Structure 1
């Protein structure tokens, strides 16, 4: 908190907010990257906004992505290799239930953790999908295209997505895997561009056959996207990685050809559509061919292939596929004569948060007995989740509007989406253009794109030699609060960071007295990086809270006036008031920029300074006698309670369980206690606002040796 913050420089916030966390596929549980890299930051932000804007003005959505080839392929392998005998719907439901249980274990407070193919959201999502596709067709922005799709002749079936594996054709891509029309870094390409394709079903090289699908005319929005991206680059809330990644996709349609194919290229160049050639500079091993649009570039593919010229494509906007020919997907209405198709999982996952929002509001409408409007109509569509399915608990209160457009199409609302940076293309390019094309005045999202949360210094991958631990396994060694604080401290907004919990570190770090190898996980000399923030919770924060509550506790034989079980009345010292204000303003600025690590650092500095002030003031008071001692200790407690209240509000989104426990012992209404409407009020003013007299609010007696934040049992 080196900078001096002013009340005049506070950021502006919307009246209402949607917060979303990227949807995990429904073919597995959640590993730590899902939870620590996306869900915990999103939950921190959602909890902050509930305190800042009012809980009724925030909807936090996410859910299981139920469809797509990764799920179908995992299900196929499970059936063939392990004799799984349940339906694909039951398979997804079971994984959704596991995911929801994990989120509950980490105190992730979604208003809904739904499923695109699961009740209560499934039928509403089907309705939203139909509405959006029909609207895009009305707007003239989706149409039928005949393209090539991989077909496995040996298996006698078309192949989708993950059923084909090869190498990415996009120039400079470092992806380890590429599939039918995208790689695992999100690059999009035509199936015929995939390098060295192989069927995952039979291992054969598949052939390409024509199919009809619906495509969104993404290239038509190139100029809009350029203007929008330039504006985004000036937005202090949006990290530069977002606009820079978007800019890469807004380049001209280009092909890169190695110099060794120059002679073959020259032989067929006159057969190519309109183009220009950029000669290689210096020692570059390839030259560049630029086309007016993706159409000319695609037409050039066959000419070059027939001429024996190998090439790689540059990033550029191409038509965005909306449908596919797989059975397991969201049904799609007939458009342009295209029938018997389902929605591709990526586009429908982009509007799934709208479906989830409408499900939340339908739930509200049903509870309130509302019978008219879209929310009531959606309530009639809403089904019940499976009886044995684990759910993230629904909120017990009503939201401020039942009209989904007040959340998604209003000038005083904002959409905050937490994603991994690999998905910037989908959320920031494809979604942005589609929202514009719909003509519904949909609010464009403010995206927080995190870098990779690495594992032991490497990208976390379930298929690697050292797969990341499931998120639930971590709770065998660490508490939920320890993990939340650690992940939020890592600064994923700025760079990839390694998560290296000592409990899983198998490096050999020495030998014992018998000459046996000792691994890091068992080596007492090795400090656990994952516990770096734990001391703030179990030491500093605990100590300040205990000092306050024990300090006013009635104590037999001690007639001190402040030992009456009540928060003492009085004005906090100027130093304490200034420190609290600066902490609040610095924290708010950090949250505005999604800098969760800086927000936590503000809390760390503030709590440590508050503890120091309490320690110094209480020691000084104990050196006095009589009335001066009582007055000094009363002032020390007034200051300490002021700082504890502010710190607890700021830390609420980071470690909610412990902070809500502190609130319980304050014995205040939690909605009022955590509301930022009261954060600059003095304790006396806050008590008066609740209809009580300062100095007479009684706190809940704290048991001896009580901890608001505990270590994991394995750490003792």
Structure 2
């Protein structure tokens, strides 16, 4: 029956579909619409597939942002989705004004080759922030559109798309039956650094994952650990131990100063490998992999420390000195790498080291700690049981 009808249809191509179906692909929406009654009148069952449609710009909601007269239509307001595409630019301008800078400086973030805007979005919004936003930005350029516009023109953003995060294995929505927990509620049980570490480790760029905070899970087994604290425990346990061991040992044997010496070649190589692997993971937006790379570096540092045991008085002085130099090198690298994940704790490490903001410079990432401290520099005294990566009060 279809073969008899096809000559009556607008130009199209025939493709294999699923099961016993086929696909009719038309070049234009108008042609597809003309084909629909022809198929229906001839008793051919069909359904319309998804395709790109004209992007709606305006609506008639009174509370929206007024739109200028367009093709003879007036009194309209911008639809919420196109407005949301330039809203981040408005946010940037507002933030600059709040800092005492001219709002016009937003171009230094959105329209210069010295800056790149990264947009973290859910996969269901890729159409808007990918296709629609890029089309708007390209359409605003003077002359022939290009993906590499001259200075002063809006530049295309980097899209970091994420899959859905479920809440207790169910899709949560503020407008649905299952409501996601509010940020203020989560902060009753977790620190900001703990939540950031957990969310970044989920690998949402690859798969949908369930968020299962134990305090908010009525079915949680009291005997099981809180899954949200897996990455947090790396900070509050392993990393805390690594940093504190360095400080306590220098205070006991070196008057709170970094001992002189050269980092062992194998430690330099191991640390540089971790840095390069971390950088590659970040470029690929594989944040879960980046965190695991740092975790491996921290665990290896602690294993080396346990083997040398430099805090004990029985340790050979030369072994102790070299162990401290090596450990400070690995801790220095791990602190910089974890700075985007746990800024509060890592800033506290920098405070106790007594070094400046240049400590975070990626251009100096391979340099040892000795490059940042002058001769005779004394670290800030670390009191017993002082934590750099603190647990939430509810966890103590």
**TM-score scaled to structure 2, two decimals?**
0.87
Question: 2 CA distance for matches of 1:679 and 1:333?
Answer: 51
Q: How many residues align?
A: 386
Q: Is 1:482–2:168 an aligned residue pair?
A: no
Q: Shift in Å at residue 360 of structure 1?
A: 4.4
Structure 1 match to 2:72? 337
Matches within 5 A, 1:396-411: 402=105, 404=107, 406-411=108-113
Q: Is 1:428–2:130 an aligned residue pair?
A: yes
Q: Is 1:415–2:117 an aligned residue pair?
A: yes
Structure 1 match to 2:292? 601
Could you say if the C-alpha distance between residues 344 and 571 of structure 1 is closer, same or farther in structure 2, counting changes exceeding 3 Å?
same
Q: Is 1:326–2:69 an aligned residue pair?
A: no
What is the DSSP-based 3-state SS (H/G/I as helix, E as strand, rest coil) of the residue aligned with 1:533?
A: helix
Could you say if the C-alpha distance between residues 310 and 663 of structure 1 is closer, same or farther in structure 2, counting changes exceeding 3 Å?
same
Structure 1 match to 2:246? 548
5+ unaligned residues in a row in structure 2: which ranges? 143-148
- Report if aligned partners of 1:322, 1:343 keep a CA contact under 8 Å in 2: yes
What is the DSSP-based 3-state SS (H/G/I as helix, E as strand, rest coil) of the residue aligned with 1:448?
A: strand
Determine which structure has the larger strand proportion and give its number: 1
Structure 2 match to 1:652? 339
Q: Shift in Å at residue 634 of structure 1?
A: 2.0
Could you say if the C-alpha distance between residues 310 and 432 of structure 1 is closer, same or farther in structure 2, counting changes exceeding 3 Å?
farther
- Report if aligned partners of 2:166, 2:208 keep a CA contact under 8 Å in 1: yes
Structure 1 match to 2:328? 641
Q: Shift in Å at residue 454 of structure 1?
A: 1.4
Could you say if the C-alpha distance between residues 577 and 685 of structure 1 is closer, same or farther in structure 2, counting changes exceeding 3 Å?
same
CA displacement, residues 432-490 of structure 1 (integer Å, 9 cap, x when unaligned): 22222222533222211011111222222345554322222222222222222111111
Structure 1 match to 2:156? 444
Structure 1 match to 2:364? 678
Question: 2 CA distance for matches of 1:309 and 1:348?
Answer: 41
Could you say if the C-alpha distance between residues 294 and 458 of structure 1 is closer, same or farther in structure 2, counting changes exceeding 3 Å?
same
Structure 1 match to 2:180? 468
Could you say if the C-alpha distance between residues 340 and 674 of structure 1 is closer, same or farther in structure 2, counting changes exceeding 3 Å?
same
Q: Shift in Å at residue 501 of structure 1?
A: 2.0
Higher alpha-carbon deviation: 339-348 or 453-462:
453-462
Q: Shift in Å at residue 598 of structure 1?
A: 0.5
Could you say if the C-alpha distance between residues 648 and 295 of structure 1 is closer, same or farther in structure 2, counting changes exceeding 3 Å?
same
Q: Is 1:539–2:237 an aligned residue pair?
A: yes
Q: Is 1:715–2:395 an aligned residue pair?
A: yes
CA displacement, residues 220-250 of structure 1 (integer Å, 9 cap, x when unaligned): xxxxxxxxxxxxxxxxxxxxxxxxxxxxxxx
What is the DSSP-based 3-state SS (H/G/I as helix, E as strand, rest coil) of the residue aligned with 1:313?
A: coil
1:501 to 199, 206, 213: 213
**TM-score scaled to structure 1, two decimals?**
0.50
Question: 2 CA distance for matches of 1:712 and 1:362?
Answer: 34
Q: Shift in Å at residue 712 of structure 1?
A: 2.6
5+ unaligned residues in a row in structure 1: which ranges? 1-261, 368-374, 380-401, 508-519
Q: Shift in Å at residue 611 of structure 1?
A: 1.2
Q: Shift in Å at residue 592 of structure 1?
A: 0.5
Structure 1 match to 2:81? 346
Q: Shift in Å at residue 606 of structure 1?
A: 0.3
Matches within 5 A, 1:238-277: 270=8, 274-276=10-12
Higher alpha-carbon deviation: 345-354 or 613-622:
613-622
- Report if aligned partners of 2:274, 2:297 keep a CA contact under 8 Å in 1: yes
Q: Is 1:456–2:168 an aligned residue pair?
A: yes
Structure 1 match to 2:275? 584
What is the DSSP-based 3-state SS (H/G/I as helix, E as strand, rest coil) of the residue aligned with 2:116?
A: strand
What is the DSSP-based 3-state SS (H/G/I as helix, E as strand, rest coil) of the residue aligned with 1:614?
A: helix
Could you say if the C-alpha distance between residues 613 and 338 of structure 1 is closer, same or farther in structure 2, counting changes exceeding 3 Å?
same
Q: Shift in Å at residue 610 of structure 1?
A: 0.9
Question: 1 CA distance for matches of 2:40 and 2:77?
Answer: 32
- Report if aligned partners of 1:277, 1:287 keep a CA contact under 8 Å in 2: no
Structure 1 match to 2:51? 316
CA displacement, residues 189-228 of structure 1 (integer Å, 9 cap, x when unaligned): xxxxxxxxxxxxxxxxxxxxxxxxxxxxxxxxxxxxxxxx
Question: 2 CA distance for matches of 1:505 and 1:327?
Answer: 42
Could you say if the C-alpha distance between residues 281 and 480 of structure 1 is closer, same or farther in structure 2, counting changes exceeding 3 Å?
closer
- Report if aligned partners of 1:454, 1:497 keep a CA contact under 8 Å in 2: yes
What is the DSSP-based 3-state SS (H/G/I as helix, E as strand, rest coil) of the residue aligned with 1:534?
A: helix
Question: 2 CA distance for matches of 1:480 and 1:582?
Answer: 29
- Report if aligned partners of 1:275, 1:289 keep a CA contact under 8 Å in 2: no
1:294 to 29, 38, 53: 29
Question: 1 CA distance for matches of 2:90 and 2:18?
Answer: 53
Could you say if the C-alpha distance between residues 678 and 303 of structure 1 is closer, same or farther in structure 2, counting changes exceeding 3 Å?
same
Structure 1 match to 2:350? 663
Question: 2 CA distance for matches of 1:279 and 1:571?
Answer: 67
Question: 2 CA distance for matches of 1:304 and 1:438?
Answer: 41
Question: 1 CA distance for matches of 2:218 and 2:95?
Answer: 45
Q: Shift in Å at residue 713 of structure 1?
A: 2.9
Question: 1 CA distance for matches of 2:263 and 2:232?
Answer: 29
Q: Shift in Å at residue 582 of structure 1?
A: 1.2
- Report if aligned partners of 2:12, 2:27 keep a CA contact under 8 Å in 1: no
RMSD: 2.9
Structure 1 match to 2:314? 623
